[in-house]
Amino acid sequence: MIAMSVNDKTRTGLLLLDKKPGVTSFAALDEIKKNLGTGKVGHTGTLDKFAGGLLLVLAGRAVKLAPWFSSCGKEYEGTVRFGVETDTLDPEGEPVFYGEIPSREEVEKAFSLFRGGILQAPPSYSAIHVGGKRASELARSGNPPEMKKRPVSVYSLELTFWEPPFAGIRLSCSSGTYVRSLARDIAIAAGSRAHLAALTRKRIAGFDLSEASSPPALVPIDTVVIEKLNLPWFEINSRDVQKIIHGQPPGPILDRGTLHAPPGVRDHRSAAIFSAGNPGAFIAMIEKKDGIWKYGYVYC
């Protein structure tokens, strides 16, 4: 059974799950749902079936916090196989293009083109909706959609090993970055073709794969969790908690509170609110719009 860090009746909190390759992200939640006794469980960023690594899973009322978890940066380690590109850009697809194996120097030169802000076309086999349908559904029906390029950021990208036709990569990137597409584009830039042969998600924001326990433990949404999201948080008194519950504007309440921010975080458009009267009690998420704090989700 999953160890509970909050009242069992609430079944609310965060779990760090080490998803194994060969299991879909959806199927990986089945055991968690069974052990928690609730279907109100959701991951905050899918991993392809062939990939493994860290999934952040929210349960109970915490499911509503998914937008603040899914927008985080991520770190990956993977293996690229040069010489053949598959239709899915992973090892489960069918070969569609072939190319010569590039040199290490050509690969490293190509890497330099994909660091920083880039425009990237997502894979046609993906969950992105095109014309009201998933791109993957259209691709499987024989009508792969044209995937428009969109801006993403690759903060770091390095070669970890070179054993032709295989190359190891390590990268950190923004939410929305497809490593499968990155492998494809690097190969084309190097005068070759490739697909992503293996992938492990090592980190999401401040959460590390090494923290994922087996079985996964349900932990509360506390200040540690918020700071690992690299978000600031406010501490307010118990009287002001009641005012939030009754929907009073957060601005004056926050003026009376105490702001805490992780190192390097000066300003952010999102923040959390906790109760000083009940230490660790999570109250709400707020967002700044046009310079004014608004409620994103009242949790209490």
Specify the CATH number for the domain of residue 184: 3.30.2350.10
Helices (H) and strands (E) in the chain, counts: 8, 18
Mean pLDDT for the chain overall: 90
* Co-location of 82 and 183 in the same domain: yes
Question: Which distant-in-sequence residues (6+ apart) come within 8 Å of 79 by Cβ?
Answer: 166, 167, 168, 169, 196, 197, 198, 199
* Co-location of 97 and 127 in the same domain: yes
Does residue 6 sit within a domain?
no
pTM for the full predicted model = 0.90
- Please give the backbone phi and psi of residue 108, each rounded to the nearest 5 degrees, phi first: -65, -35
Q: Which of 273, 232, 231, 278 lies closest to 256 in space, CA to CA?
A: 273
Report whether pLDDT(221) > 60.
Answer: yes
Does residue 4 sit within a domain?
no
**Domain total of the chain:** 3
How are beta strands 270-275 and 281-289 bridged, if at all?
antiparallel
Q: 2-22, pLDDT tens digit by residue?
A: 343 334 445 899 999 999 999
Specify the CATH number for the domain of residue 35: 3.30.70
Active site residues: 48
Mean pLDDT along residues 88-101: 96
Asked if 21 and 198 count as a contact pair (C-beta separation under 8 A), the reply is: yes
Q: 149-208, pLDDT tens digit by residue?
A: 999 999 999 999 999 999 999 999 999 999 999 999 999 999 999 999 999 999 999 999
Q: Which two tokens stand for residue 36?
A: 């928690």
* Co-location of 153 and 164 in the same domain: yes
* Co-location of 127 and 59 in the same domain: no
Does residue 128 sit within a domain?
yes
Does residue 265 sit within a domain?
yes
Residue 264, domain extent? 223-298
